[in-house]
Copies of this chain bind each other. A is one copy, B any other.
Amino acid sequence: MKRKVTLKQIAKELDVSISTVSKSLKNSSEISEDTRLKVQAFAKLYNYKPNNIALSLKNKKTKTIGIIIPEIVHHFFATVISGIEQVANEKGYNVIVCLSDESFDKEVINLEMLANGSTDGFIMSLSKETQQKKDFHHLQEVINQGMPIVMFDRVANEILADKVIIDDLLAAYQAVNYLIEEGRKKIALITTVDYVSVGKLRTEGYLKALKDHNISIDEKIILKIEDIDNCSDVIQKLIIENDIDGIFAVNELFAVVAIKEALKKAVKIPEELSVIAFTDGIISKFSTPTITTVSQNGVKMGRKAAEMLIERLETEDEEDERYRTEVIETNLISRESTKT
């Protein structure tokens, strides 16, 4: 087992100083060609690679991006990571991933953990609990220390930082419009509890679309679901007890459960009931019938977030306080769960 070789060892072996070795490897003109080549040959032979930690300490740059997200077993977040990793890779950065598990405390711990030198900046999406508590002091503190943060999807208006979002309200509005133009009159909404920022915005879009078409709002067919694992019963109830002809769901899981429950009751999709879901994930593509969705391009969001962060990291004039909010466009992918 041959341990990694250091500058010091090379210096000793070749009977020169550490400085000489370092300069030789950097092709400094200060060093004679003789010694330069000698050192380079030796370094190559022993497969010398500079130690990243030492470099980080010296340069006060880790070339590492911290990602903190609620969970990873979730197609959307996985695609975002994928996008981040792509541009990080291109620009020579690594990514270190932490999961908050939707917990405020874990989010704080992870953030503080990584803020002590491990990363140059953060890309994050807030945990549900954080959004509920509306406590963002941990973010503010990190920002005050001079570490840039880019937030995506679940962002906080209270925090001044770069952000990457989609226009949740507009996209929801358009999706519901789509159903209305199909001729649907009684469109149900299946959404999350209100403190999840995106859920709230999508709900607003739904309400606005109905209002703009003079369709009265019926609270009975607006379902706010907290526990995603046990939602089938309430959804079934929604379908049986109201003769709805359209469903707008804020995620594909709600949608697929709704479709299953409808099929059980022999409701024909899309003839009698149209379904549109937010988030174009793996489920929508492969369910039967396939589901019309608002596609939320996670890869693109990740790429954009990484670009924004790295730009801020690498721009010299640090204090440009003009934070940007980038809106990624969505598009409606129509599939079998709607008529047109």
Where the two chains meet, the residues of A that have a C-beta atom closer than 8 Å to any C-beta of B are 1-4, 47, 49-54, 56-57, 62, 64, 71-75, 78-79, 81-82, 85, 89, 94-99, 106, 112-118, 141, 144-146, 253, 256-257, 259-260, 263, 282-283, 286-288
Contacts and interface: CB of A to CB of B under 8 A. Distances in A.
B263 A112 contact: no
A73 B75 CA distance: 7
29 contacts: A1-B144, A1-B145, A3-B145, A4-B116, A4-B117, A49-B115, A50-B116, A51-B116, A51-B117, A52-B116, A52-B117, A53-B53, A53-B57, A53-B62, A53-B117, A53-B118, A72-B72, A73-B82, A75-B75, A75-B282, A85-B97, A85-B98, A89-B98, A89-B106, A94-B114, A96-B96, A253-B286, A260-B288, A287-B287
Contacts of A54: 57, 117
Nearest to A96: B96
Nearest to A54: B57
B2 A145 contact: yes
Contacts of A114: 94
A286 to B, nearest CB: 5
B85 A113 contact: no
A269 to B, nearest CB: 11
A30 to B, nearest CB: 25
Copies of this chain per assembly:
2
Contacts of A283: 282-283, 286
B99 A72 contact: no
Nearest to A257: B286
A136 to B, nearest CB: 17
Contacts of A97: 81, 85, 95-97
Contacts of A53: 53, 56-57, 62, 117-118
Contact of A99 (B1, B75, B82, B117): B82
Nearest to A259: B288
Contacts of A62: 53
Contacts of A288: 259-260, 263, 287-288
Contacts of A56: 53
A335 B24 CA distance: 66
Given A54-B57, A71-B82, A74-B78, 20 more contacts: A2-B145, A3-B145, A4-B117, A47-B141, A49-B115, A50-B116, A52-B117, A53-B56, A53-B62, A53-B118, A64-B96, A72-B72, A72-B78, A72-B81, A73-B75, A81-B97, A94-B96, A260-B286, A263-B288, A287-B288
B78 A144 contact: no
Report, nearest first, the 3 A-B pairs whose CB atoms are least far apart. A288-B288, A53-B117, A51-B117
**Which of A50, A72, A74 gathers the greatest number of chain B CB atoms within 10 Å?**
A72
Contacts of A117: 4, 51-54
A113 B96 contact: no
Nearest to A263: B288
Given A57-B54, A116-B49, A79 B73 contact: yes
